[in-house]
Amino acid sequence: MEDQLIIAGQAIESRFFLGTGKFASYPLMREAIVVSRAHIVTVALRRVDTQDRRDNILEYIPKECIIMANTSGARNADEAIRIARIARAAGCGNWIKIEVIPDNKYLLPDNAQTIRATEVLAKEGFIVMPYVNPDLADARRLSDAGAATIMPLGAPIGTNKGVCMRELIKILVQEINLPIVVDAGLGRPSHAAEAMELGASAVLVNTAVATAQDPALTAQAFSLAVRAGRIAYRAGVAAPKDNAEPSSPLTGFLR
Amino acid sequence: MRVRINGEDLLLVCQITVAALIAQRKIRPETVVVEHNGAILARDKWEAAVLKENDTVEIISFMGGG
């Protein structure tokens, strides 16, 4: 049965998106991408450090991947817009993850600034994937502003706490007619499966993979969990109940 | 002449173009984007872009990120 994820008219071959930060080396990062078959991978932009003789990260990302720059480091809409334009000038294409984070303690996004940046960048032809607190009214505003997806956080970035925003994400899935991509905070494959069972269209994971003992194996586990969770969502798994219900017939031949 | 490169003040003794600045720092041109005084400077303009007093230059490249 066909179950193709489409974003901005483009077929996306995997519902597992991978971030490229925090890997011990670029070859390890590449291996995680290849093994998990991630199709969308994120990168960041930074000032060049002339002391750092690391290779160009783009050379380690398989050619078939969609490279999506993020706007990390942006504290307001204008900075996010500036970073997006730089990313496009760098030949990175039109895909942009908007991330506007004014708070260093919890790394929570600023929805209002994110909406403003989305309005501007969508008009400029970017495929905009905004990273936001899961709020229904804001998700509607983002949809109106031309966002290609909504990316609610599962939990604060890098916390590995899982789908803490579960109930709010479920509402977005039900009410918003765009792919919902759960981003941030997913620590284990079971968290990813949970997000997909809720009806998320995809998940984006970075820290949990990059900082695992074996990143490639972890990426593979996440990728499989995403597929399992997606199938479970489509299958319409049964709802929980308060009272027990026998699964074997209690035909009373004992009494 | 004082200029600001990637947030650091630099005193230049002679005139220099953006292209020369990139070469001097042994940066592979195809891996970076340059902003000159807040505006993106296309690669084919680097040779003609001579730095002036109080100019700012940002040299930016991709790195890992989530």
What domains sit in chain A, N to C, each tagged with a CATH number? 5-235 (3.20.20.70)
User: What does the pLDDT read at residue A131?
Assistant: 97
Q: Name the band, by pLDDT with cuts 50, 70 and 90, for residue B26.
A: confident
User: What does the pLDDT read at residue A55?
Assistant: 78
Give DSSP secondary structure letters for A83-104: HHHHHHHTT--SEEEE-----T
- B62 touches A203 (CB < 8 A): no
CB atoms within 10 A of CB A151: 28
User: What does the pLDDT read at residue A2?
Assistant: 75
**ipTM higher than 0.95?**
no
Catalytic residue among A97, A123, A161, A170: A97
CA A114 to centroid of chain Cα atoms: 16
Three-state DSSP state, B55 = coil
Which residues of A are less than 8 Å from B33 in CB distance? 45, 86, 89-90
Which residues of A are less than 8 Å from B37 in CB distance? none
Q: Is A97 a catalytic residue?
A: yes
Selecting from A42, A56, A206 the residue whose C-beta is nearest the C-beta of B31 gives: A56
CATH 3.10.20.30 fits B2-61, yes or no: yes
Which residues of A are less than 8 Å from B6 in CB distance? 47-48
State the Cα–Cα distance between residues A77 and A32, nearest whole angstrom: 32
| β-sheet bridge partners, residue A152 | A132
State the Cα–Cα distance between residues A215 and A207, nearest whole angstrom: 10
**B12 CB burial (10 A radius; 0-12, 13-18, 19+):** middle
Q: Residue A105 is which amino acid?
A: K
Instruction: List the single residue in A with minimal CA-CA distance to B7.
Output: A47
Which residues in chain A land under pLDDT 50?
Answer: none
**Helices in A90-206 by DSSP H: which ranges?**
111-123, 136-145, 166-175, 189-197
Query: Is B64's CB within 8 Å of A184's CB?
Result: no
CB atoms within 10 A of CB B24: 10
Q: What is the mean pLDDT of residues B25-53?
A: 92
Q: Which residues contact A127 (CB under 8 A, 6 or more apart)?
A: A7, A8, A10, A94, A95, A96, A148
Q: How far is A174 from chain B (nearest CA, A)?
A: 26
What DSSP state is assigned to residue B33?
E
pTM score of the predicted model: 0.90
